[in-house]
Structure 1
Amino acid sequence: MSDYILGDIGSFNDFFCRRIKPELRPLDLDESHLMAPCDGLLKVYPITDGLVIPVKQSIFTIADLLKDGELAASFEGGYCLVYRLCVSHYHRYAYFDSGEKSADVVIPGFYHTVQPVALEAGPVFTENARQYTVIDTKSFGRCVQMEVGAMLVGRIVNEEMAPAAVMRGSEKGHFEYGGSTIILLIPKNVAIINDDILKASESGVETEVKLGECCGTSGS
């Protein structure tokens, strides 16, 4: 409890999305580094043949995820980074890089659980509510940062949904109560993912990361 700022708690949701003391989430502001936008369990997928595997037992095309075939095609050969937040994780998230963002795209959906038993019924991310932002970033080209709601998450709360200049590390928003997911789509030949994260992902293992940590570097 001593890690958090608790002076303005008026409800359970206030407590759930409480702010952590800034010194406990130092931000990697090096422009050549790929900064984690949130706390979570990270798995990285190369985007090949239009397919990614964001969660176990479900396969999605990028076009299904975005509902935009032209935008999806721009990520062929790039990376899909999936940060899975558990209830115990810090539920505020930041912009992973500076740049110019377009208006948020909101895709309504049903709030389903991300538990494995639910995946037997069908692809979770084709049903879950989600919002995404296209960002012309300073270091990684045109990317997408997406928030996906899960069971018990009543709202994805983004601070700025209109076109705007954004800064690396500034707060993008937060999830209200429940488990959630952040997805980054990175185009081809602009990022080198940390080798330990790639190797773990190839083995089907998630890597625990924290908001502000370096997950890779810019480069081909």
Structure 2
Amino acid sequence: MTPEAALNPSRRAIRREQRRQAWAIHGGPVGFGVALLGVALARLPLPSRRLRERLYRTAFGKKYPPGLNEAEMDRPLAEYPTLNALFTRGVRPECRPIPAGTPQFLSPCDGTVQDVGRVEKGRILTLKRIEYTLESLLPGTDTAAFEGGHFAVVFLSPIDCHRVFAPQDGALHEATHVPGARLLVHPPFQRPEFPVYTLNERVIFRFTTPLGPCVMAMVAGWGVGNVTLPAAPDFRPRARRVTATAWSPPLPVRRGEWVATFELGSTVVVVVPPADGVTCAVSPNDKVRYGEPLFTYPG
């Protein structure tokens, strides 16, 4: 189903669908209420180290087996004072070696590859054969340079590190915030009637690199409402209109450098330019970690 053929749901319909999805994933209104409470209290410090360890291990291990990978965390589990701190944790550098100088676009995050492929006639194809135009995904972005290029869609679950990193050396020129819905980005809940990458809130980053331009879209999901930029602490998205923040001169970035963070589960879409001989290093359903290659260009 193409974007042109997709329905244009009303705000009321979107709100109903958000509620339906949230109830479904949490097992009904009671579970949904508990989840809402968890989101509301995500920044509330937990008073006891023992309580933190028990809560974190039980909650994540039971709902998202095999649970959190404590061996790679940048500090012991009990030292994360809030759920938000745990979601936005760092990873010890030795657990994420970043290849230097390779002609590759690297994964900007930990997660599972939902889809990967070519940009054809300005479109990308995601799960359940739902097509999106780059214009609908990336409003306000000149997408001509990406025709014939490649894209990758990486889904982050709640047990993944929720920091997002630069996929190549280069410069960050602009971050564009697009307000929108909070439909679930979990693959089983995506429906053609509610194209999440067109409807959901997102932040779009525009880079230049030695391999050409690159755009990266952080797509918010249910419960995700805050994107921060370590290099630009004054970045403040607006709730009701598209806003762009540009840097002059652009911010220099190195591959694997932390550029943004969001909370709970969500999705990152990477779009890269065309070139002869590009090879794809990942396939749908692959587990990927930030710093691992997505696309390799001829040397």
Normalised TM-score (structure 1): 0.86
Which of 103, 107, 111 does residue 36 from structure 1 map onto? 107
Q: Which residue of 1 aligns with 2:144?
A: 73
Q: Find the partner of 1:174 among 243, 261, 270.
A: 261
SS of the residue corresponding to residue 2 of structure 1 reads helix
Report the equivalent of 1:209: 288
Percentage of matched positions with identical amino acids: 27
RMSD: 2.1
- 1:15 is aligned to 86
Give the AA of the match of 1:123.
Answer: P
Structure-1 separation of matches of 2:270 and 2:279: 12
1:56–1:85 CA distance, 2 compared to 1 (3 A): farther
Q: Which of the numbers 33, 45, 56 marks the counterpart of 2:128? A: 56
Structure 2 regions of 5+ residues with no counterpart? Answer: 1-69, 233-246
Q: 1:1-220 maps to which residues of 2 (within 5 A)?
A: 1-6=70-75, 9-42=80-113, 43-68=115-140, 71-115=142-186, 116-119=188-191, 121-138=193-210, 140-161=211-232, 162=247, 163-176=250-263, 178-189=264-275, 192-194=278-280, 197=282, 200=283, 205-219=284-298
Residue type at the aligned position of 1:74: A
Superposed CA offset, 1:196-216 (max 9, x none): x3xx4xxxx322111111233
* 2:185–2:267 Cα contact (<8 Å) kept: no
- Is the alpha carbon distance of 1:190 and 1:35 closer, same or farther for their aligned partners in structure 2, counting shifts above 3 Å? farther
CA contact (8 A) 1:29 1:169 kept: no
Change (3 A) 1:23 1:62: same
CA distance in 1, matches of 2:88, 2:128: 27
Q: Which has the higher helix share?
A: 2
Give 1 or 2: higher strand fraction. 1
Q: Unpaired runs of 5+ in structure 1?
A: none
Which of the two has higher C-alpha Rg?
2
- Between the aligned partners of 2:155 and 2:102, the Cα distance in structure 1 is 24
Q: Report the CA distance between 1:41 and its aligned residue.
A: 1.5
Q: Which amino acid aligns with 2:296?
A: T
Task: Report the Cα offset of residue 175 of structure 1.
Answer: 1.4
